[in-house]
Structure 1
Amino acid sequence: MATPVLQIIVASTRPGRVGLPVAQWVRKAAEKHGGFTVELVDLAELNLPFMDEPNHPRLKQYVHEHTKRWSAQVDRADAFVFVMPEYNHGYTAPLKNAIDFLAQEWANKPVGIVSYGGVSAGTRAVTTLDPVLNAVRLRPAAAAVHIPFVAQFLSEERVIEPSEVMSASAEALLVELEVLARSCRQLRTKPAQS
């Protein structure tokens, strides 16, 4: 069985964001784990416009090149990690938009969450994201990484210096995602029953 592709998606797009250093730390942890081909997907670089497709995403009849590229990118993934902040007790508009552009491409793929913020570590945003993940049939992992007061882990060079708890949580998440990615792949390739 081919090595699963893990896409780490940076959900924050604002200037000065902490999401990119957090995602780079997750990428290093995933590469060290060794169970995936790892790709970093930065929604700031992707720069999707707000949903502009005339057809419902479940039809997969895309007319815009940016959607076709996004579809192909998500299609090739076997698992995801969403690296997400909490804004006003919710997740970011760019993440919601990126999810809503597609439908079939997300189905039966596991997703892990690395959230960060202040005292709540982004957990309030995670609870608001759960129904959306279920709607597009993403399979949320039970393990997660929640980083409270994230600035304390950011060096002057804008590199995350994780605590032991963060590192252990990341490894637990990656172990679970690898198992789920391999088992969910069978769901996506199993022929439909007539």
Structure 2
Amino acid sequence: MSRLQIIVASTRPGRVGLPIGQWVEAVAEKHGGFDEIDLSDLGAIDLPLMDEPHHPRLRQYTQQHTKDWAARVDAADAFVFVLAEYNHSYTAGVKNAIDYLNSEWGYKPAGLVTYGGVSGGLRAGQALKPVLQLLKVVPLAEQVTIPFVQQFLTDGAFVPNELIETSATTMLDELGRWAQALHTLRAS
């Protein structure tokens, strides 16, 4: 059984990350490479700024929201981060969500779906990769980049072009391969 967790990083009111995350979820369901898909909207999860007294590597969580978040991340075999680019980087919400945990992230692949203006959110993805690598997450080269994201929104829904659709399928193919390959490391 394999589980994909899609993490919508933006928490700002009026964000476009949620419609993009919902599109990724629909593409992943159609793709069929994962048995379960968990759409994790950080705006709805609403983790407070790190409020745990112990270092996350100890897994001695005291807050129920941390225990719930840890269970969701721990259950995942692969991740897709849906990232907005804010000021040439990723959002504070996703950094906070990542920093809550430690070992739950390890030995799992991550695909990135980045969006923004002219750069398509690429700088957010590039800034996040070293953070993920430190936690033993394997960021894939295959990713989805969405420049000038507003052009793909129709009545609040994300409507991609063929290139974006193809990029998502390629990323999901690779996520499945890497999740399977890294399973041995997670089991040990």
TM-score by length of 2: 0.98
How far is 1:135 from its partner? 1.2
How far is 1:130 from its partner? 1.3
Within a 5 Å distance, the mapping from 1:166-177 to structure 2 comes to 166-177=164-175
How far is 1:116 from its partner? 0.1
Give unmatched runs, 5+ long, in structure 1: none
Q: What does the per-residue CA deviation read over 1:35-67, in whole Å, with 9 as the maximum and x for residues that have no partner?
A: 111111000111000011111111111111111
Number of the residue aligned with 1:56? 55
How far is 1:141 from its partner? 1.1
How far is 1:8 from its partner? 0.6
- Equivalents in 2 of 1:165, 1:179: separation in Å? 21
- Equivalents in 2 of 1:87, 1:178: separation in Å? 29
Alignment partner for residue 15 of structure 1, among 10, 13, 16?
A: 13
Q: Which secondary structure does the structure 2 equivalent of 1:67 belong to?
A: helix
Alignment partner for residue 25 of structure 1, among 14, 23, 39?
A: 23
What is the percent sequence identity of the aligned residues? 57
Number of the residue aligned with 1:76? 75
How far is 1:120 from its partner? 0.3
- Equivalents in 2 of 1:7, 1:35: separation in Å? 13
Alignment partner for residue 5 of structure 1, among 3, 6, 18?
A: 3
Number of the residue aligned with 2:151? 152
Point out 4+ residue stretches in structure 1 off by more than 4 angstroms: none
Q: What does the per-residue CA deviation read over 1:115-138, in whole Å, with 9 as the maximum and x for residues that have no partner?
A: 000000001111111110111111
How far is 1:86 from its partner? 0.2
The Cα RMSD (Å) is 0.7
- Equivalents in 2 of 1:61, 1:132: separation in Å? 22
Number of the residue aligned with 2:176? 178
Give unmatched runs, 5+ long, in structure 2: none
How far is 1:99 from its partner? 0.2
Aligned length: 187
Rg larger for: 1
TM-score by length of 1: 0.95
